[in-house]
Structure 1
């Protein structure tokens, strides 16, 4: 198609410029059309020169009466022109690029110029204004108030384009890009390049694509620009969601999973043995998961729940149902500490039901590892809990039916896929204790069904969070000592392990030694950090769980998975160095029992962003609200993390946080289309199929590993 011709087909683009643009990913005129402006300047108001006021930025048009170089020497020369429109005149002065302007502006030329008006000695002036040559008719029309002339640099809403260092070095600035884009619009017609059906465009009140492209680059009004942006955002979100919808249809069509239809003795005994009542949210999520597991379609579900909301218990119901149907479950966690924590918890709950739970970690004794491997292969081990060690080739399951991945954002796509490939087509449950705003979930995980546990178990006492300046932390340690003396336990967390030459923070190791000898002398302190061996870390954790240690000093290695109900104090040193998600996870280590708990955020003097983060922590304990604030501060991509941000960061113009309503509308339309025509074979969907295959089909999503 014409719009995919070489860039050199455009006026003003020779081989050198084409090479510069191609290095930036702009290889065709279509790529130029998709290179949207980063922002706009409003220069649409044409003023009469005689009405100019001091200090206002305006556009004027007129005829050049005088034009000359003044002064001598390259450092002191300037180019001055006088522009007149019949109501008055204004002096235009350029101190740089003198010879360029001298060669391009002459008496008699009709110009439109934009700049900041000033007065000196009673004369109107503009210094370094932008300008554009006009035909005589255009100049006369502008003076009479007509603005329907094709201006690109002045006299309208002006697009400003991002230019890289390489583009600037090659002589390509925003003004020249405007000229090249204008040449592309002049050379090519976009009317035949529509990528949505007429019904979709009409139903959602969208601009035709050709109009939207032109308004994006050369807006005729602010209203039309906004309509164009809506069209481009909606289309982008539609195709993102269509990708998810079609891949889900493909998954349903081509894969079948074992249907777990038998809810038997194990499930009944597990439920009957609970010493507490499930929350309404837990019950609803269990129903959602059971509906999936009873289907022959592979479950592909994301379970979100705040810290301490009871996700693991929901996962155990899933494993009990799998065991009732004679199938094995694999539970993978990102760290050995978390894997051991889950192993101990699952063993405590499931072993009395006759379910053999085994741990598979990286540094197990050879004989213990061989025993677990043999049990998995024979089927005598029903539930395997482990780390990355479970994806090794030596690990073989007899009848794996359910895969559960905790803190799934810490695993790469290939790691998740490797575990799932231990069976032909297992059911998959991904879990995260880092809540993600719903619109971001749709953007990054649109091919997954979503379950949310949004209430906490009854009896939980909210954790009180306090901001404490560095110079007032003595009272924090006094409060900590009082809690320990009353029988409770505490955490102290630092952001570093070793001294950094660049960041003036004390390490956990040095602080542990200092606290043991001073303010916390006489208490039983333990130290844990990432550079310790797994065996040593687990030994320290065992002592803390057993109550043999009063205070655990460490780094963020205790961020997830440490469950000690007797711990009631969390002290986070240098809290301003942590992100919101980390702070929320750390706070979640306390308040897990029946005792009142406190979290102390000890901080240095705060910057604006750090103050906003810590203020949010003190204001709310709602993880979903915190995630929204975090997304607003850090952006969608950072919140989702490197693995999950691919689809979101691939959006050029839409923002799932700001465009939630557009996201919902586009998602509904995409999934409806996928249900109606999963192969996009109908004649009216040919252009959608073409666009999808060209731009979206090869993108990687979580459905690829479903």
Structure 2
């Protein structure tokens, strides 16, 4: 806010365009001079209320006067109670628009200022909703800009920025200056011949001019982008290691082609050219001196399992230790079963259960999140680790299993925000599967209770044609998982909520009455043997209708599911809905997905937009990008894998399109030696009276 000129004459302020800083006084009520002159209104400005001190008062006009006695009306919104004890003739400062119409002066869009803000360019602090107010941030900044605190505050802040960017002051500002657009000639603004971080910080909070403040904010934005890019580089890049290479490239290619041939022979289906290319590319990348950091993003049903199992088996045949992890017991069982079916005795496989031990460290180990602690206890170090359905894995597990020479491949149709963000920077190798091995056509329809009969009829037709149908119910509440317990079949500390189970039971009873003997029930609170039995009966088409919670989401493959009904889809993220839809038509053909809401008219605009996006596209990667843009990419170097991304400047408002999807906003890190640990900066000295812009 440019408050460098303070107007104490309302008529003079009317001649100015845009916002101005005003010095005004509260006018007294002619009928009660001890109270301010405040008129209250309801939902419009048409008719004033009898008195403003009531709940119906949603907006007010507060009469103010200038030094010449000219009066104006200050428009206010919200409740009037803050003005109940206001005293007439009190001086206040506002930053507002001033207009005159029919001799009446109106003051709108006002921001109230402290006296210290008047007479200078004042930054606006928005705060963080629910955490800290803008006023509190400003008070803290004012405290730190007192002479006895300023030098230490600038030095500590500069050192924090250097730490986040992993480079020194000069390197940071050189990169920011190189990326500067022509409209902000930073060097022309520099007062000391060299841009420095403390100059940016000083002008960000105490700008000499609006141009200086905007230039400082630009620098702060670019520093945030630089810090995030460096964090991504650190996460993605792996140093070379003598034990990295699994085998010679020619040998790995031969073994991978042999594995693909075994898969085709056992399944009766030919691999797609896309699957073959991805498998061979992964195999080749396992032969380099640098451990692989890879993301395999494949459309649901495109055969990701084949694409990663072939090079995994090839690595096993070459003598490497291989681990495959899955987020659920049922998916881990499925992967182990597919390995046995495809390769038989030619591959050693151990399905490592919760609480179990590694009995054969040369076998391909298949398990859930419990594998992390088991491997740590037995000092087992894998050469290759594959995280299937990586969007369900927490970062702690990933860090547990990865050693200095371990190749890491994450697999998902809908990558979690953090992994998707990291894949857009150098250092992470991406592989894409977008060719379906079988022809399929899936129709997605967003419906509500008015379409109940059509939905039930679609299920009945599927059963009559020998197909399967699934009804998916949401969890009533989602709790954080600290790990997965296979022994109980439940997430540790996160048992399926009682209400969720009750809803599933109620739905099961309704369907069982309509389709007696043909309905199964699957939810997270069942013990493991029961889960396996229910899913086995569904696979064998003994119970062709399955009522399930989101246990069905993660990669479970059952042939000939031709109808899926997802209740209360507004409770799911876009990528969850896509994963559930991916259970359909696994062997090809036509299938229908019903997103079944209670009442479409009651859903918010944002929710409807999300559901319509799922309805209109079958592209999981596109939905993952949309989810990342809407929810955020989480912490690139922390545990949060989605949600808000914290930057070094906490109050900078970021969007994914600002710093992630715009490749032109990236820095050329080859201009500096960012891989070197920068020295601790020397203590700085500043002349408090010195004009420092840059």
Could you state the TM-score of these two structures normalised by the residue count of structure 1? Answer: 0.71
SS at match of 1:636: coil
**Contact 1:488-1:566 within 8 A present in 2 as well:** yes
Q: Deviations over 1:431-465 (max 9, x none)?
A: 2232357x973458968523132413243313110
Say if 2:280 is the partner of 1:298: no
How do 1:260-299 residues align onto structure 2 when only pairs under 5 Å count?
A: 260-261=247-248, 262-263=251-252, 266-273=255-262, 274=264, 275-276=268-269, 278-279=271-272, 281-299=274-292
- Number of the residue aligned with 1:508: 504
Indicate the residue corresponding to 1:252 in structure 2: 239
Matches of 1:517 and 1:321 in 2, distance apart? 50
Equivalent pairs, count: 597
SS of the equivalent of 1:659 reads: helix
Residues 13, 20 of structure 2: 8 Å contact kept: no
Name the structure 2 match of 1:242.
Answer: 230
Answer whether contact 1:443 1:648 (CA < 8 A) is retained.
Answer: no
Shift of 1:412: 3.1
* RMSD, matched Cα: 4.8
Which of the residues 405, 411, 423 maps onto 1:431?
411
Q: 2:613 corresponds to which residue? A: 616
Q: Is the contact between residue 5 and residue 120 of structure 2 (CA under 8 Å) also seen in structure 1?
A: yes
Cα distance in 2 for residues equivalent to 1:490 and 1:686: 63
* Distance apart, 1:246 and its partner CA: 4.9
Residue 415 (1) aligns with residue 397 (2): yes
Report deviation, 1:255: 6.7
2:573 maps to which of 575, 579, 599: 579
CA distance 1:556–1:177, shift in 2 (3 Å)? same
- Counterpart in 1 of 2:657? 658
Contact preservation (8 Å) 2:256, 2:283: no
Higher helix share: 1
2:630 to 633, 637, 647: 633
Is 1:342 paired with 2:330?
no
* Structure 2 residues without counterparts, runs of 5 or longer: 39-61, 75-81, 159-167, 187-194, 478-495, 685-694
Alpha-carbon offset, residue 346 of structure 1 = 1.7
C-alpha deviations, 1:257-303, integer Å up to 9, x for none? 34322337643322334255544544443344223311233223232
When structure 1 is superposed on structure 2, of 507-516 and 236-245 the one drifting more is 236-245
Q: 1:648 aligns with which of 626, 645, 650?
A: 645
- Corresponding position of 2:78: none
**Cα-to-partner distance string for 1:221-258 (whole Å, 9 max, x where unaligned):** 77765544432222223233324435666x41567434
Q: Is the 8 A contact 1:496 1:508 kept in 2?
A: no
* C-alpha displacement of 1:507: 0.7
Whether contact under 8 Å (1:562, 1:589) holds in the other structure is yes
What TM-score, normalized by structure 2, do the two folds share?
0.72
Residues 635 and 641 in structure 2, CA contact (< 8 A), matched pair in contact too: no
**Cα distance change of structure 1 residues 583 and 268 upon mapping to structure 2, 3 Å threshold:** closer
Q: Report what 2:201 is aligned to.
A: 213
Q: 2:445 aligns with which of 466, 486, 490?
A: 466
Q: Which residue of 2 aligns with 1:679?
A: 676
State the match for 2:472 in structure 1.
Answer: 493
In the aligned structure 2, how far is the partner of 1:528 from the partner of 1:534?
11
- Distance in 2 separating the partners of 1:181 and 1:658: 33
2:20 equivalent in structure 1: 59
Kept in 1, the 8 Å contact 2:326–2:332? The answer is: yes
Residue of structure 1 in register with 2:70 after alignment? 89
Within 5 Å, give how 1:303-452 maps onto structure 2. 303-351=296-344, 354-362=346-354, 373-374=358-359, 376-377=360-361, 379=362, 382-393=363-374, 396=378, 400-420=382-402, 425-436=405-416, 441-443=420-422, 449-452=428-431
Alpha-carbon displacement from aligned partner over 1:633-685 (angstroms, at most 9, x marks no partner): 33333999964249933553363612246874675533x267x56324xxxx6
Residues 303-332 of structure 1 deviation map (CA, whole Å, 9 limit, x = unaligned): 222322222112112222212312231111
Which has the larger displacement, 618-627 or 45-54?
Answer: 45-54
Query: 1:165 & 1:643 partners in 2: Cα distance?
Result: 19
Match of 1:34 in 2: none
Q: For 2:281 and 2:35, how far apart are their aligned partners in 1?
A: 76
Partner of 1:366: none
Deviations 1:83-128 (A, max 9, x none): 247xx934689956646974xx5xxxxx975446588995647699
**Tell me, what secondary structure is at the counterpart of 1:678?**
coil
Q: Give the Å deviation of 1:620.
A: 0.5
SS at match of 1:585: helix
CA distance in 1, matches of 2:104, 2:589: 78
Q: Please name the residue that 1:195 is paired with.
A: 169
Q: Is the 8 A contact 2:256 2:310 kept in 1?
A: yes
1:136 maps to which residue?
none
